[in-house]
Amino acid sequence: MARPHDDVPAVRAPAPDGGPPLLVACALGVERFALRGPGRFGALLLRTGMGPYAADRAVTAALAAGAPAEHAAVLATGFCAGLVPGMRPGDVVVAEATRDHRPDAPEVACRDNAPLLDALRRRGLTVHTGLLRGSDHVVRGAERAALRRTGAVAVDMESAATLRAATRDGDRPVAAVRVIVDAPRHELLRLGTVRGGISAFRVLRSVLPVFFEWHRSLSLPRR
């Protein structure tokens, strides 16, 4: 089980103009490692644990724990599976909306993602945008194709749950930025997985400053 209070205080930085901070949520230790290190920008960094239920619990607990996280903008990040032919490991997905794995789940809109798209493309990255679907398991083969037919461009296990938990008790700025680690022609467990994982790790490590450009662009209320 994730222990959010162990991770939330790990890295901190002043919020822009004295407004609420940025909470960056990821699931895996390797993702957390990519988002830290010498010279990295500060944030409230939360490792939720793997899967939608762990993400929901960890984000809910972090936001309910009081300052500094309670009024934070929330950004879900880490790795994902691409669903669109032609996607490659290291491509970036910026969600227009997320929807979790439940059949009746509503979408959570990411209304403030234009600065993310602009900043990522200025870095020369290949960026895709659209619906980011949630799953409670690793998606492969025919199931991947079926999700693509619903209009989704990528799938992961935590982003939708993270954003659902973040907006459950009211509106706040939310976003999801994922780096593709496997794609229709580069599925996990195939020969290219290791190379694709290295590419995705390097991209995730490089884009943290973009998250802070997005945060600074928000019109956040003062506390």
pLDDT in tens, 195-212: 667 889 999 999 999 999
**Residues 6 or more apart in contact with residue 194 via CB below 8 angstroms:** none
The whole-model pTM stands at: 0.86
Residue identified by tokens 């976003």 is 175
Q: Which fold has domain 4-217?
A: Rossmann fold (3.40.50)
Q: How far apart are CA 170 and CA 158, in angstroms?
A: 20
DSSP state of 170: S
Question: Pairing between strand 73-82 and 174-182?
Answer: parallel
Q: What is the pLDDT of residue 39?
A: 45
DSSP state of 15: P
Please tell me which residue, 100 or 6, carries the higher pLDDT value.
100
Given a cut of 70, whether residue 14 has pLDDT beyond it is no
Residue identified by tokens 């290219």 is 192
Angle between helices 159-167 and 52-64 (to 10 degrees): 30
**Where are the domains positioned within the chain?**
4-217
Residue 123: how many other CB atoms lie within 10 Å: 13
Half-sphere exposure of 101 (CA within 13 A, CB side): 19
Q: What is the pLDDT of residue 65?
A: 86
Please tell me which residue, 20 or 29, carries the higher pLDDT value.
29
Given a cut of 50, whether residue 11 has pLDDT beyond it is no
Q: What are phi and psi of 204, to 5 degrees?
A: -60, -40
Q: How far apart are CA 189 and CA 126, in angstroms?
A: 23
Q: Which of 18-22, 101-105, 133-137 has the highest mean pLDDT?
A: 133-137
Q: What are phi and psi of 37, to 5 degrees?
A: 125, 175
Residue identified by tokens 């300052």 is 67
